[in-house]
Every structure is written in structure tokens, then in C-alpha cells.
Structure 1
Amino acid sequence: MLLQANGFLLLGALLTALAGVLHFACIFWGARGFQVLGAGEQLVAMAARRHWYPPVVACAIGCVLLLWALLTLSAAGLGPQLALAKWAVLLITLVYLGRALAFPWLKRVIIGNSERFWHLSSLLCLGLATLHGVGLAQVWQAA
């Protein structure tokens, strides 16, 4: 079954799951974890004060990313074949692409994140959009 899976979608799912796990890890690492991953000073300070907001946001993003990984694995041909998984992966691809391309506008609205965060996360989103898009095109072409 693993040999029949789409490699691009499999890698995209694994990297998405890793991103989700890193968001959960921030909850346990605390302020230092948020800082290492490039969160803004305000969010890091809130985490240092043990404010409720940073872990809730990290948990929400982590949950979304793990759901996306599950849907991508399904579209890749692994695990349960979830209804509309391929269409969901198309939307996921568009979200990643939109996030990657919109960072110049987003960083004007979401103040406080480091330049490293914006550039690295945008590059990662572009890479994930590419993996998901190429893999999805292959899966649809094979159908």
C-alpha cells in the first residue's frame, strides 16, 4: 500500500503533520518554543506570562494541520479513503499558496512576527503548496 501511495502527497502530509506537532510542542516548550519558531515578541511575552491565548492558538493551528495531513494521506492512497479528500486537498493547496503569496500584506496586518518567521513560513507554505499541487495533479491524472 505504501508503494502505491503518491510520493508528493505522502511527503506533503508528513511535513504538514510535523508542522502540526511543532505547534503542539510550543505549548509544552512555552515562551522559548514560540520564540524559536519565530513568533512575535508580543506572543512570546504572553506565553512567558502563561496567558491562555498562545497555547489556544497553537493548539487550534496544530489541530487544523493534523486534519490536513490526514486528508492528504487519504488523497495519497493511504489509510481510510475519506469522502471528498481530493477536493479538500485542492483547498488545502490553495490555502498554502495563498498564505505563501500573501505574506507581504499579512505582515502589515499581523504585527510583531519576525522577518525570519514571515520568510521561512512563507517559503514552507510555498513548498507545501507545490508538493500538494503536484501530487494532486498526478492522482487526478491517474484516475
Structure 2
Amino acid sequence: MNSTGNKYLVTAAIACFVAALAHVGCIVFGGDWYRFFGAGEQMALMAEQGLWYPTIVTTAIALLLSIWGLYALSGAGVIKRLPFTKLALLLIACVFLLRGVCFVGLMPMFPENSLTFWLVSSGICVFIGGLFAVGYWQRCSAGRLNKMSYKD
């Protein structure tokens, strides 16, 4: 493992894990948390009624964020290299950045979500996507430099 790490990818991992924990909090604490995070009254009511839909959707998001956090740690050299790390980092950066920038197109599909939800979550996505993108670029640049130094 790389002892110096990649601070951008480590920060991206922490952000992913915090976001995953916030989603788990919605599952555990129910409707009030869904409302607080702006997920919409319909999700909050379904959670309060004990329906499975909010739990399944929120669990899937939490798991995905956790996996992405692990890929960030892998790319940073903090944990063992995961399969397709380089490709995964690039795709994760793209997903976060697209989600953050294209939220206006997504808003009509989720009319229950508040404008505050869209602005805050999109800003967070752009931030995390930027961390992944810079970390990916730094990782690739370091790889090229390492390859060049081995030739010398």
C-alpha cells in the first residue's frame, strides 16, 4: 500500500462514507430524517407507514456510496487494490459530476424533492466528483512519473 496516499481520494472516501451514514440515518430514524434531508413528503410518509420502498432505495444508495468510498481508498493506496480501480474512479467521478451539473433535468422526475435538496445535494455531488476527478488525475500522473523513473 502507498503510505503517502492521495489526499483527494481519501477525502472523497470520507465524504462517501459520511453520505452513506446519512442515508442509513434516514432508514433508522425514519420520516423526520427523510424530510430534513429533503427527500420529499412521499418518501417520509412511506417510511412512517413502514413501507419497504424507502428502505430499499435508501439502502441501495448507502451501499453504492460505501463501495465508491472503498474504491477511493483503493485508488489512494490505503487499502488493497480493488478490481478495475482506475476505470471505477473515472466512472465515479463522472457520475458525481453529471449528477451535480444535470440536476435541473432530473427535477421533474422527482417533484417531491425540495429546491433546497436539489441545490445542496448537487453542490455536494460536484464537490465529491471534483475530489474523485482530481484524485484520479493525480493517481494517473503519479503512475506515469513512476514508470518514467523506472526507465532511468
Q: Pick the TM interval, shorter chain.
A: over 0.9
Which range moved further: 11-20 or 77-86?
77-86
Please give the alpha-carbon distance, in whole angstroms, between the structure 2 residues aligned to 1:102 and 1:110: 13
User: Which amino acid letter does the alignment assign opposite residue 121 of structure 2?
Assistant: S
1:7 aligns with 2:13: no
Structure showing greater radius of gyration is 2
1:113 aligns with 2:79: no
Structure 1, unpaired ranges of 5+: none
Deviation at 1:83, TM superposition (A): 2.3
User: Which amino acid letter does the alignment assign opposite residue 102 of structure 2?
Assistant: A
RMSD: 1.2
- Cα distance change of structure 1 residues 2 and 81 upon mapping to structure 2, 3 Å threshold: closer
3-state DSSP class of the match of 1:78?
Answer: coil
- Cα distance change of structure 1 residues 2 and 116 upon mapping to structure 2, 3 Å threshold: farther
- 8 Å CA contact 2:3, 2:78 repeated in 1: no
Please give the alpha-carbon distance, in whole angstroms, between the structure 1 residues aligned to 2:4 and 2:111: 44
TM-score by length of 1: 0.96
Deviation at 1:52, TM superposition (A): 0.9
Paired residue total: 143
3-state DSSP class of the match of 1:63?
Answer: helix
Task: Find the counterpart in structure 2 of residue 56 from structure 1.
Answer: 56
- Cα distance change of structure 1 residues 31 and 2 upon mapping to structure 2, 3 Å threshold: farther
Please give the alpha-carbon distance, in whole angstroms, between the structure 2 residues aligned to 1:26 and 1:3: 35
Task: Find the counterpart in structure 1 of residue 149 from structure 2.
Answer: none
Structure 2, unpaired ranges of 5+: 144-152
Deviation at 1:82, TM superposition (A): 1.2
User: Which amino acid letter does the alignment assign opposite residue 113 of structure 1?
Assistant: N
TM-score by length of 2: 0.90
Please give the alpha-carbon distance, in whole angstroms, between the structure 2 residues aligned to 1:2 and 1:10: 12
User: Which amino acid letter does the alignment assign opposite residue 33 of structure 1?
Assistant: W
Percent identity over the alignment? 36
